[in-house]
Structure 1
């Protein structure tokens, strides 16, 4: 009985931890500033199966996955991390957006 209670507790903690970190990545676009501390989101760059495909643009970052890198007045501050990201991205040349 004790093992069942512990397993249920661990499972529910895992569920709540994953639910708390889910991000609507379709709304992450615009002027992006890359920072080393105090980010809005922590992001891991991957080669496959990303949460968001990102296209770097110079003009009109007006839809999901289009990011223009800026130094001032960002819409979002992003920190690139290797562990415990809020979501993952893959850089692409065409067809940005959420999967």
Structure 2
């Protein structure tokens, strides 16, 4: 029973907060894609994402708006196929929670 509670606690820890954060990282802003030592590992999915992401070129200041940059990122991500911290789906409108 205690193991089940630990697993549920681990799953709950991965939920996006009401302030659009995960693990203390705001899920909007300037993002750099890296191959190692990323702040978050993300999996791109076609349905049922944890977060809808809209790539923008300026002012990434709303939940799910990401501006991809090469320097001075707010956080870094690494794309993975399994065991991601966050599942995302790219959209053209209405970013944020599904």
Q: TM-score band, normalised by the shorter chain?
A: 0.7 to 0.9
The 8 Å contact of residues 22 and 86 in structure 1, kept in 2 or not, is answered as no
Q: Which runs of 5+ in 1 are unaligned?
A: 1-7
d(CA) in 2 for partners of 1:82, 1:44: 6
Q: 2:7 aligns with which of 11, 14, 22?
A: 14
* Residue in structure 2 matched with residue 69 of structure 1 by the alignment: 68
Scaled by the length of structure 2, what TM-score is found?
Answer: 0.83
Count of residues in correspondence between the two structures: 92
Larger radius of gyration: 1
> CA offsets, 1:39-60, max 9 Å, x none?
1111111001111100111111
Equivalent-residue separation in structure 1 for 2:78 and 2:34 (angstroms):
5
Q: What TM-score, normalized by structure 1, do the two folds share?
A: 0.83
User: Residue 10 of structure 2 aligns to a residue in which SS?
Assistant: helix
Residue 59 of structure 1: SS of its match in structure 2? coil
Distance in 2, matches of 1:54 and 1:84, equals 19
The structure where helix makes up a greater share of residues is 1
Structure 2's unaligned 5+ residue stretches are: 21-25
CA RMSD of superposed structures (Å): 1.6
Tell me which stretches of 4 or more aligned residues in structure 1 moved more than 4 Å.
none
Distance in 1, Cα, partners of 2:16 & 2:35 = 20
Structure-to-structure mapping, 1:3-82, within 5 angstroms: 8-24=1-17, 26=20, 27-82=26-81
